[in-house]
Structure 1
Amino acid sequence: MHKIEKILSAILPVLDQWGYVGIGVISLLEATPLVGFIVPGQTIVIISGFLAQNDIFNIWYLMIAASAGAIGGDLIGYILGKKYGHPFIVKYGKYFYLKEENYKKTKDLMTNHVGKALIVGRFTAFTRALAPFIAGIVEVPFIKFIWYNIIGGIAWSVSFVLIGYIFGASYKIVAKSLGVITTTVIVATILLMWLYKVINKKKHIFKKKHIIALIVNVFSLYIFGKMIEDVMRHQLITRFDVWVSEHIMNIWQPLLNKIMIVITGIGSPETVSVFFVAVMIFLLIKRKKYESIFLFSTFSFGMISGFLVKYIVGRFRPAIGLISETGHSLPSGHALGTTLFFMLFMYLFRNCVKNKILKTLFIIGNILMILIISFSRIYLNVHWVSDIIAGISLGIFWFTLAFLSFESVKAFSNAKEINK
């Protein structure tokens, strides 16, 4: 836990010095035409409210910073609208996925209900960054605009800071009973389910396999979080870890030892990285753009997250190992790396094997590689069982998350092609 405190001690001074400025700038950008469509200002303001509940920010300064940014962003939008008008949207809107129909809806609302458009509209995604700009186009009187702008900016900032603040209070209460990591996983699960529902309601792109992937994604995240929390709290799993570590040495045999050392070498992060680079080069040669991005991002983010967790948790390895290993223990880099690579390999090349029996053997072979390499780490007594479970579950989480993202991108791309 001292490493978490060390990281926080490095971050907190930066937040203390620049946090309010950052919130103000983000709130300003989200209220600015076009840019506001891609800046997640509302989400960041909610998170800042959550941090205020945990004494990282002062809630009053936070509200002032967010309000100032929101009001300033609206003012920029108004000035741009008055100066450049509709041609500005026509010329640059396509780069920010701004549809003409959204522009027309906001303009009609502005023409008939100025106050509603500027105050209530601030709480709606596409009108938030567009309404002030259109107010400038239709030449809403400046005094009238600035009045509604101030009311809307303050109302928006206070509301979303308080949402984060209240959520932070609830989080504290629940976390005392369930544990911080478990509670975080539950919250992440709710967000994933909500995101799935929103996307599928609009696009209808998800099938049964995607629902299964989402369930596996959530479950793997829970298992990963549970392993970390139980280890840090010295729960039952740690006693099981010790029992396995003490008894695994009883089955050590010279020939089996050599086999397991070879297997563990095949699954080392260095060796798996070589396999990864080889597959990456193959995909680039074949001009598989999406597949290469999918492979690179999933493997990279997965491995980086594993190293970060290792550093933060700082768990020691078993005392007596058959081979010498350095570095921290949880999650297992071998289990994580092989899970990521072989699941990605299985997914990317599954259609290359046409014969059903061979395809089944191909899938079983990849899964067995993950399990055998992972077991070799337990056999050699260089990892605890919970390290392996955490590594595999983290790998599955990243793979299923990337799979859902990749499938969504493909579905959106196909939909665009059909609409052309």
Structure 2
Amino acid sequence: MITWVVIVVLLVGFFTMMIGINRGWWRGLDQWAFLHVTNQQDHRFWHQVAFLGQPWLTVGWIIAISLWWLLQGQWLLTIWTLGVLGIANVIGIITKKVVSRTRPVGHLPHDDDFSFPSGHVLGLTLLVNLLIFYWPSWGVVLLAVLWWLLVASSRLVLRAHHLSDLIGTLCFAQAWFLICDKLLTLVWLKF
């Protein structure tokens, strides 16, 4: 029951962000973040961090995890793992086209598509959830969350996204993972 309440709260947060983004509801939060976060002169470190959070690398990790489950004979976990990221990416691409939020001023030239939701944060949030779901140890949790925080921070420092983009993407990704977890439990009980 509590999981469904959390899902609803996260989805309300996501849709509130989605609706409010182009209406300027979050402009103050975004401006505050840019004033306080993006004041570093040398961005080489952040470029490297952003590279390690590239969506195509996240897809590679998800495929590797899926292949590992396939080699273990766990076809349900293989399909589920691929579906968690695959369907979320499709929803993310559609959302990006519908919302059509422009990137922050001063963003990287190669970031030429829309800003919301963040592909880096969407994929990495799901990957971190999957790593913690499959290997729930303090070491995995600590490293995965640290990796996520660094990549999310890089998106702000490099002006690839507004803070509200990251918050809205996090809400969607967490809600989606919880929904997928519930679906896996329902399917698992049938087999």
Who is 2:6 aligned against? 216
* Residue deviations 1:181-203 (CA, integer Å, cap 9, x gap): xxxxxxxxxxxxxxxxxxxxxxx
Who is 1:409 aligned against? 187
Identify which of 341, 348, 355 aligns with 2:134: 348
Deviation of residue 298 (structure 1)? Answer: 1.1
Structure 2: how far apart are the matches of 1:363 and 1:277?
A: 20
3-state SS of paired residue (1:381): coil
Instruction: Please say if 1:361 is aligned against 2:139.
Output: yes
| Aligned CA distance change for structure 1 residues 243 and 253 (closer, same or farther; 3 Å) | same
Amino acid at match of 2:183: S
8 Å Cα contact 2:38/2:156 also seen in 1 = no
Larger Rg: 1
CA RMSD of aligned residues (A): 1.6
Structure 1: how far apart are the matches of 2:154 and 2:145?
A: 14
Structure 1: how far apart are the matches of 2:7 and 2:182?
A: 9
Who is 1:394 aligned against? 172
Who is 1:121 aligned against? none
Who is 1:319 aligned against? 105
Structure 1: how far apart are the matches of 2:52 and 2:139?
A: 20
Who is 1:260 aligned against? 46
Structure 2: how far apart are the matches of 1:346 and 1:323?
A: 34
Pick the structure with more helix per residue. 1
Deviation of residue 323 (structure 1)? Answer: 6.1
Consecutive unaligned residues in structure 1, runs of 5 or more: 1-210, 351-358, 414-420
Task: Answer 1 or 2: higher relative contact order, Cα 8 Å, separation at least 6.
Answer: 2
Who is 1:230 aligned against? 20
Q: Following superposition, which runs of at least 4 residues in structure 1 exceed 6 angstroms of deviation? A: none
Structure 2: how far apart are the matches of 1:305 and 1:412?
A: 27
8 Å Cα contact 2:108/2:160 also seen in 1 = yes
Who is 2:76 aligned against? 290
3-state SS of paired residue (2:38): helix
Q: Equivalent residues in 2 for 1:51-62 (5 A)?
A: none
Amino acid at match of 1:412: K
Deviation of residue 223 (structure 1)? Answer: 0.9
Identify which of 101, 105, 123 aligns with 1:337: 123
TM-score of the pair, normalised by structure 1: 0.44
Amino acid at match of 2:154: S
Structure 2: how far apart are the matches of 1:274 and 1:331?
A: 20
3-state SS of paired residue (1:383): coil
Who is 1:300 aligned against? 86
Structure 2: how far apart are the matches of 1:392 and 1:247?
A: 21
Q: Equivalent residues in 2 for 1:26-45 (5 A)?
A: none
Consecutive unaligned residues in structure 2, runs of 5 or more: none
Structure 2: how far apart are the matches of 1:338 and 1:403?
A: 17
Deviation of residue 316 (structure 1)? Answer: 0.3
8 Å Cα contact 1:245/1:318 also seen in 2 = no
Amino acid at match of 2:165: D
Structure 2: how far apart are the matches of 1:347 and 1:367?
A: 13
* Residue deviations 1:348-401 (CA, integer Å, cap 9, x gap): 233xxxxxxxx1222222222222211110111110001101111111111000
| Aligned CA distance change for structure 1 residues 249 and 366 (closer, same or farther; 3 Å) | closer
| Aligned CA distance change for structure 1 residues 288 and 349 (closer, same or farther; 3 Å) | farther
Identify which of 127, 134, 149 aligns with 1:371: 149
Number of equivalenced pairs: 191
Structure 1: how far apart are the matches of 2:129 and 2:143?
A: 11
TM-score of the pair, normalised by structure 2: 0.92
Identity between Structure 1 and Structure 2 (%) = 24
* Residue deviations 1:264-303 (CA, integer Å, cap 9, x gap): 1111111111111111111111111111121011111111
